[in-house]
A and B are shown apart, each in its own frame.
Chain A
Amino acid sequence: MLDYIKQWLAQRRGGAVGNHDPENLPTPKTVSDQPLTRCRLIVLDLETTGLNASKDEVIAIGAVAIEGGVIHLNDQFDLILRRPELDIRETVLIHGIGPEALTQGHETEDALLYLLEWMNGDPILAYHSAFDQKFLEKTLKAQLGYTIPHVWMDVAELLPAIFPKAETKGRSLDHWADFFKLEVSERHHAAADALVTAELTLMALNRAQKNGVKNLKELAEKLHYQRRLQNMHRY
């Protein structure tokens, strides 16, 4: 059992247990002109204790990676954090793993280091990304003093930009998932939400490429243009 967990952890972090190099964390990448068919994107979802970034805390991080237009299920991140303020034990609880894992004593710092290493500086996508970005950046700064910004992209913005005619019944992740008849295995589970967000992203990337969008730069420009268009309508 122990071996299995070790292996499992190693797979997720791409490094040995408890051995990080905070000085040599991957540098966040900029919006590049690497083709969409080749780049790696992180699709992330956080569960928090509330909506107020100055007060509330992150409890769980779920993320999957899209690489070459495909979701690789052996390249995912599924952690529940137990913060000292929320739990007596200052540990990182890998979701569902029993007492053996607890005795390993993974701390929040460790978990965040794993995350940074695993993300490898790649662009991060999330549904209503401003929320996740605020929480993650706050946590990274407070725990690790880490302040280098990643590139973020909002899937909530991406979807209507790519599927302007989709008549969803609302703007939430659930509405989009319903519209495309996607199944969410366990709603409000960070990893499950991240996977659905990633599935929607795959659909959007597929369509975007057919509309001539070749790389992330062009996609970002499209979103930028969309935002301006919307702002114009607003006034």
Chain B
Amino acid sequence: MAAANQDTSRPQNTRAIMTFLREHAPFSSMDDTHLAHFAEHATLRFYADEDVVLSPDDGVVKRFYIVKQGRIRGERHNEKEDRAETTFEISQGECFPLAALIGERPTRTLHRASGDTFCLSIEQKAFITLFSESEPFRDFCLRGVSSLLDQVNQRIQSKAMASIGSSNSLDTPLERYALRNPIVCSPDLPVRKAVARMHENNVGSIIITDDNRHPKGIFTLRDLRTMIAEERGPLDTPIRQVMTADPCCLPSTADAFEAAMLMAEHHFAHLCVVDEENHLIGVVSERDLFSLQRVDLVNLARTIGTATHLRTLVSLRTDVSRLVDSMLAHGADSGQVVKIITTLNDVTVRRVLELNLKKNDPGIPFTWLTFGSEGRQEQTLLTDQDNGILFETPEGMTEDQVREKLLPFARKVNDELAECGFTLCKGNIMASNPKLCLSDREWDDWFVRFIDASTPQNLVYSSIFLDMRSVFGPTEPLHRLLEKVLDRIRKNALFQKMLAGNALQRKPPLTMFRNFRYLNDEKKHSLDLKRQGLAPFVESVRVFALAHGVEAANTLERMDALSRKGVFDAKDANAWKEAYSLIQAIRMRAHQEMLDRGEELTNYIDPDDLNPLDRRILRESFRQAQRLQQKLEVTYQL
């Protein structure tokens, strides 16, 4: 009763403001007395569209604002292009300017109203009172606006931690792992003595180094087993004859994720860690990386990579899904998870190819290409086959003769991949299509036609064929092809402009008023995260990457490369990478939930199902996509 009494004792307008505040963080977790303090000390201000709210010229910031209605945008002057750029947007219920107010300095960004805007504002004195008395408010202010992203990650992870209880992140640099002093020997040591040394130290591997402590080879218990089983020689054979030469090495600054990926790709359980001069400083084993996590990536990759039957491969696909689940639960970021999915998919594709080669080798060397999302290493669980073959025509054969041998083989591989869960491509973009099983010369011609004689129609294929990667077979032929293709695109401004125009076809789903723009009446509240959310990033970044000779196909790697080349401002590149990854993360979580419910996977989500924080982040991410598209518009004057 007391509380109700107290509430009604406040004037109507004070109560109304408190109600408004309660709908937004951090006010939603603050006490009523503090909210009342805010409401009673607030002023209400109006700014018409384009009015300046706060300016760096106003001096030290003395007020704290919250948007009651409308929007505020932050404006930064772009010196290169001499025009104003929007750096952030603040919408209803959001606060500003935190950093400047706490740092007791002028704001660095011009704050301008976007549309008719009302702000509630309190003076520094009232702000300090709240800051010192309300813990949620203080936390919020100190952590700043950027902490929103942390909050999401924290929430995802804390959920997972509760059930799994691990705190080892895959971002941890290798140097932070307790690198055991590696057991080493020289190349001439007999195997018997090397094994004795391993036994004494109770380890499963020994590194063979030269006099300068450069790793030359590795010998493991498994190698010993093979050596004895296959009777490769007596135990006094010098170890250099039976070791695995040129062991995989990583610098100590590499993180656990890279190590895990490398292990998964090559199916070995140990990696040498070296310093800048390639001196051995330690060994990391699969067990070290995953002792705290139950993520069995390496083991799964190995099981896939050594499976002897198609049906084993098919059954392992459910393990992949389970692994993704567990990775997401461990708080692995979406970039890592898509890479893991891609790696496991690659391993599966390779194994299907190897098994078919064993049964029925067409006898012609080839490179197995993947296109589109797999080419970009951005596959999620919902995946199509987009593949092709690149071959070098052997002496004395025509290209058609080669195709005659390769196509039936490719057909079989496509079918078996379909059994493994890689849906057959509806557009027949598959290696068994004679148009996509081509020699190096034919591919080159194909790209010449694609680039020089492109029409808006065939540009539809740009998202597929311009994101290309080899999965199996020699990589050099593809590299040579890519160099020519990139060179041609770099010199063809018209093609670039057409690509740019094409990339602007898909707009992020935001209305002018920064609400979500829904697909259509039928799907009233759904957004297509792939086509509306990710595609604007992928396609815009592709244009910049191809125009600047970036060979990578992965969108995040392309952005890194563009930032290094100075095409993207480093801060922009970071914001875009983050936004892209967050949309991807939300998409993958949705997929995982659909799997749990036994539903068919789609890319549609209803933003109303998201919590307010995710909704806000999704909105901000879409806005970043708009900014990237604006850059494309300006660059190509579209």
Which A positions have Cβ atoms within 8 angstroms of B? 1, 4-5, 8, 62, 64, 69-74, 76, 78, 95-98, 180-183, 185-186, 189, 191-192, 195, 198-199, 202-203, 206-207, 210
Contacts and interface: CB of A to CB of B under 8 A. Distances in A.
B69 A182 contact: yes
Contacts of B43: 70-73
A25 to B, nearest CB: 23
A28 to B, nearest CB: 25
B13 interface: yes
Contacts of B13: 64, 73, 76, 78, 185, 191-192, 195
Interface of B: 5, 8-17, 19, 39-48, 51, 69, 116, 118
Contact of A76 (B11, B51, B116): B11
A183 to B, nearest CB: 7
B12 A98 contact: no
Most buried by B among A71, A73, A74, A195: A73
Nearest to B51: A206
Given A78-B11, A98-B5, A192-B16, A73 B46 contact: no
Nearest to A78: B11
Given A96-B9, A98-B9, A185-B19, A73 B45 contact: no
A185 B69 contact: no
B16 A71 contact: no
Contact of B46 (A185, A191, A206): A206
Contacts of A203: 46, 48, 116
A92 to B, nearest CB: 15
Contacts of A191: 11-13
A51 B469 CA distance: 80
A185 B41 contact: no
Contacts of B47: 206
A86 B46 CA distance: 39
Contacts of A70: 43-45
Contacts of A202: 44-46, 118
Contacts of B39: 73
A207 B48 contact: yes
A78 B48 CA distance: 28
Contacts of B44: 70-71, 73, 195, 198-199, 202
A98 B8 CA distance: 9
Contacts of A206: 46-48, 51
A176 B40 CA distance: 26
A199 B12 contact: no
A206 B116 CA distance: 11
A196 to B, nearest CB: 10
A179 to B, nearest CB: 10
A190 to B, nearest CB: 8
B327 to A, nearest CB: 44
A26 B444 CA distance: 91
Contacts of B46: 69, 199, 202-203, 206
Nearest to A182: B69
Given A203-B46, A203-B48, A210-B48, A4 B16 contact: no
Contacts of B19: 185
Given A64-B13, A72-B43, A73-B43, A96 B8 contact: yes
Nearest to B47: A206
A8 B12 CA distance: 14
Contacts of A207: 48
B16 A186 contact: yes
Contacts of B11: 76, 78, 95, 191
Given A73-B39, A192-B16, A206-B46, A181 B69 contact: yes
Nearest to A183: B69
Contacts of B45: 69-71, 202
Given A195-B13, A203-B48, A206-B51, A180 B116 contact: yes
Contacts of A180: 116
Contacts of A192: 12-13, 16
Nearest to B513: A181
A1 B29 CA distance: 25
Contacts of A186: 12, 16
21 contacts: A8-B9, A70-B43, A70-B44, A73-B41, A73-B44, A96-B9, A97-B9, A181-B116, A182-B69, A183-B69, A185-B19, A186-B12, A192-B13, A192-B16, A195-B13, A195-B16, A199-B46, A202-B46, A202-B118, A206-B51, A210-B48
Given A98-B5, A180-B116, A199-B46, A73 B16 contact: no
Nearest to A12: B11
B64 to A, nearest CB: 14
A202 B9 CA distance: 28
Contacts of A64: 13
